[in-house]
Amino acid sequence: MKLELYRETLKICQRHVDRLDWSMQQMQKHLPFEANTLSELSDVDLAILDQFSTRFSKLQDVMGEKLFPAILELTKEQGNLVAFIDKLHRLEKIGAINSTSDWLLLREMRNAFSHEYPDDLALQAAIINKAFKLAAELISTFNRVTTFAKQYL
């Protein structure tokens, strides 16, 4: 990956981080979410929650699909790592991410957003509450990875 493409990936991730952070700030007043909280949200608040879940998912995707491979390339750690789990283990080993298991948990959260539970507001609330906690970790992971990569630029 060329340096220009790496920088473009960073810009995309940063845009997702900024919008994810904004949506979290806007919804802070509703935490923790409960079934009745969700049923009473305005259309604007529901749109902000959609923004939250979309940006969480997109950030997690771009980091996994583009940023992590770019980091491995920058550090010359790419090697013959075909499986994503091997890439995660290598990123953990070199100190770019805290832990492979933490990243997999973020991935599970992203997958939870793809499932709809329209009749189970309590389950929706539980997913959103967990996601709010993990969103801070996702942003922290992005910051850690970008700080780590600076030594190779």
What is the per-residue pLDDT across 64-106, written as a single tens digit (0 to 9) for each?
A: 999 999 999 888 876 677 899 999 999 999 999 999 999 999 9
Mean pLDDT of 22-40: 95
Instruction: State the residue range of the domain holding 16.
Output: 3-150
* pLDDT class of 118 with cuts at 50, 70, 90: confident
CATH number at residue 67: 1.20.120.330
Mean pLDDT of 114-143: 90
Tell me how many domains the chain contains.
Answer: 1
Is 145's pLDDT higher than 90?
yes
3-state SS of the chain is CCHHHHHHHHHHHHHHHHHHHHHHHHHHHHCCCCHHHHHCCCHHHHHHHHHHHHHHHHHHHHHHHHHHHHHHHHCCCCCCCCCHHHHHHHHHHHCCCCCHHHHHHHHHHHHHHCCCCCCCHHHHHHHHHHHHHHHHHHHHHHHHHHHHHHCCC
Is 9's pLDDT higher than 90?
yes
pLDDT above 70: percentage of residues in the chain: 97
